[in-house]
Chain A
Amino acid sequence: MSAAVSPKRMNRTLVAGLVLLGGFVLAALAAPLIAPYDPIFQDAAARLQPPSWAHPFGTDNFGRDILSRLIFGARVDLQMALIGVFFPLVIGTVIGAIAGYLGGIVDAVLMRLIDIILAFPFLVLMLSIIAILGPGLSSFYIAMALVGWVSYARLIRAQILVLKNADYAVAAVSLGFSRTRVLFRHLLPNSVAGSLVFCMSDAVLVLLSGAAISYLGLGVQPPTAEWGIMVAEGQAFLSQAWWITLFPGLAIVLLAFGFSMIGDALGEAMGVHE
């Protein structure tokens, strides 16, 4: 309704975000076809080479081609962002919806649980869970699901609390609809817009923490190509070979950029203001 946001500009943001994200997805899908080298092939003769025609982004200390590793790394990082957002979103939405709709003791208990989880610093909690489960990607996903759902639960709960007093919710009850039907068919679809927008910016957060976990050696294990590990490995050679660190860093930033632009555009389209 508001005349301040021109639909044209919103479209441009959305298109830019989709192009960025789409580019990464395409690269990930077609990795074996477009990557010039095997991402884990070590060429002892070509160690620490600066960017050149043969190696556009240079090579690392094992002589591996950075570009090829970036392209294959997109597979891992996209998967991390996707799964790392999906489970918290689903778990948080269901728990938040139930807490908001039922209220009372259920709500009180769930909310205190959320308070407890929020009382710990995010990364510290992640690291401790992964430390207990042992390093690896699946531990990362589990930790993410255990920690990440709280934000979604709070968002959805707040929405449900408002909407459950809306006339159409009362109408649904008065028409003999079951609680489950009222909650999942009438209230939930009207309250997820905010979460969908949030999950785009959350994807950025997940991507960065995934990279950070891998950087600390608790996530993806070498020699698998992953942007966080690549940054970590290049760190030792920062003064001699800046390209090892710079290009994976840029890839993380660009992908994060894509997610947040899509999130912004979605938010404007759905009238959600964070």
Chain B
Amino acid sequence: MSAALLSVRDLSVAVNGAEGPRTLLDHVSLDLSPGEILGLVGESGSGKSLLCRTLLQLLPSRALSVTGGTAMMGGRDLLALDEAQMQQVRGAEIGMIFQNPSSHLDPVMRVGEQIAEGLRFHRRLDRAAAKAEAIALMGQVGFTDPPRQFGAYPHEFSGGMRQRAMIAVALACDPKILIADEPTTALDVTIQAQILRLLMELRESRGLSIILITHDLGVVAQTCDRVAVMRQGQVVEVGEKRALLAHPRHSYTRALIASHPSMPVDDEADEVDDVTDPADAADPARVVVLPSRPLVEIDDLDVRFPVAGGLFGRRRSFSAVAGVSLQIRPGETVGIVGESGSGKSTLARAMLGLTPVSDGHVAFDGLSLRGQPGAALARIRQQAAMVFQDPFNSLNPRLTIGQTLAEVLRVQGKVAPAAIPARVEELLRLVELDPALAGRRPRQLSGGQCQRAGIARALAVDPRLIVADECVAALDVTIQAQIVALFQRLVATMDLTLVFIAHDLAIVRHLCTRVVVMHHGRIVEEGLCAEVFERPREAYTAALIAAIPDIDPDRRLIAPPPALAV
């Protein structure tokens, strides 16, 4: 580490709030060697992003200020540069890519022009040379037809391609350091694997140093050389990846590793007694003796949405779910997995009668939504409930948690009015929330607390079926693990059927007994969790499973790149 490219020493940042200054970054020290990938891990609010923004003097608010420390790069202190000097560093020496490529690309500017813009500003190339250089770059980051795609706008690309465009913009001026702030969080696993592979190739071919901010230890294990764990503005642990993952010294690091929904834990065991039937490996109490009548019965379901085709244009439609048949029996825990756009949320909403069915049948508890829509809907509203992805957006911001729960109880009418306050308290205890929080509004709670309140609201219906739609996707990993544990306990102790929708296969494997894999609106594979994950029959399922970044660095997620054009 003698020839560090970037050396941060005792960096502190404070915010001047109404209650006096508060420290957000506390004496952070880090080194980055040439050609190294450093992982910055920690929960939201731990200061990962702030640290990187501070290096570029891009503090998000005027109330923030650097209170001490240095960040030496090439003999200069980045923190002491003035704005004009800083402009030369940004882009030219340190490039940055962000979590959400759609909001960081200019929507009305051609993608190619955005890449060429940096070339013209920093390297003073003329229009033609900049265009040629930009097209070459687009080829390097994996665009299939750069000359044509140069003139396309960001909305014409998928999320993964936009992230590639962002990387090209950041690389345009040949920076020495690339800061990647959660670059794959918004992407599907298979796309994530491609982007991570691209970053590693760029490191190889350009000798680029990368600071990779992420909350996913799997991503770190697969890509980084060294890891820094941050918590509450401090670096609690830095070390070589393997050493740190194998022997975490700080208790917080241990908690992080423990809460990673890792695929391999019971994997080795399975490999040993591979001969036994996988069904036996699952909890026998839940698998055997299933009642014969399914709670939810879906038969050849089609859900189509009209696509706007102008006033006189022909009406066209988009098929979100096509020809899906599925049976869910009482007491089952079923996971539905698939990438975004695979139709899993639409399927869930159709199951609960929240979206009109174009074709096919949905029946709940033997009542068909087509045959007896009134009775079926009434039954669903009485016996099924949903938990949503965004914990803040799924609760009415104007009502307190207590009011929200009490309203459900009043409308459902299953609890006597006088008993409602007691029931509210009971529900909050059930989801491990302090009943004193009943008087708070969603905005005064954390994401995890809000999600617990959302689950309590679902439980207020006293449901037989809960449909959870990506309900942990927006939460930090440690909170994710807690919510999953809560679901496990609820399913075990109550007579509950759970449909758990997620793009995170590891969590589904952890929680569910049966899994349904969806792709482009169809079910590609279905079966017991252990079986599907152990021996996927379809290539798509296998690809999905292989794309999960494993926390064990030796279980390579990324197969050696299949000869990519560089």
Q: Chain A residues in contact with chain B, CB under 8 A?
A: 3-4, 166-168, 170-178, 181, 185-186, 189-190
Contacts and interface: CB of A to CB of B under 8 A. Distances in A.
Contact of A190 (B388, B398, B457, B461): B398
A181 B280 CA distance: 48
Contacts of B390: 167
Given A3-B62, A190-B398, A175 B385 contact: yes
B394 A167 contact: yes
A167 B389 contact: yes
Given A174-B386, A175-B461, A177-B411, A168 B395 contact: yes
A189 B398 contact: yes
Given A4-B62, A176-B461, 16 more contacts: A167-B388, A167-B389, A167-B393, A168-B394, A168-B395, A170-B354, A170-B386, A171-B454, A174-B386, A176-B378, A176-B412, A177-B411, A186-B396, A189-B398, A190-B396, A190-B397
A4 B394 CA distance: 29
Contact of A174 (B62, B381, B389, B407): B381
Contact of A175 (B61, B393, B397, B412): B412
Interface in B381-421: 381-382, 384-386, 388-390, 393-398, 407-408, 411-412
B63 interface: yes
A189 B399 CA distance: 10
A190 B412 CA distance: 23
B18 to A, nearest CB: 8
Interface string B343-356: 00000010010100
Contacts of A175: 381, 385, 408, 411-412, 457, 460-461
B63 A3 contact: yes
Interface string B38-62: 0000000000000000000000011
A178 B412 CA distance: 11
* Interface pairs A-B: 8 shortest CB-CB: A176-B381, A167-B394, A167-B388, A167-B393, A3-B63, A168-B396, A174-B386, A189-B398
A79 B134 CA distance: 67
Interface residues of B, number: 29
Nearest to A167: B394
A176 B386 CA distance: 11
Interface-centre pick from B352, B384, B386, B454 (highest chain A CB count, 10 A): B386
A232 B162 CA distance: 64
Contact of B393 (A4, A166, A186, A189): A166
A170 B388 contact: yes
Interface string B311-355: 000000000000000000000000000000000000001001010
14 contacts: A166-B393, A168-B397, A170-B349, A171-B386, A171-B395, A171-B454, A172-B396, A174-B352, A174-B381, A175-B461, A176-B382, A176-B461, A177-B407, A190-B397
A3 B64 CA distance: 10
Contacts of B386: 170-171, 174
Contacts of A168: 393-397
A163 to B, nearest CB: 10
A170 B27 CA distance: 46
A168 to B, nearest CB: 5
A168 B457 CA distance: 11
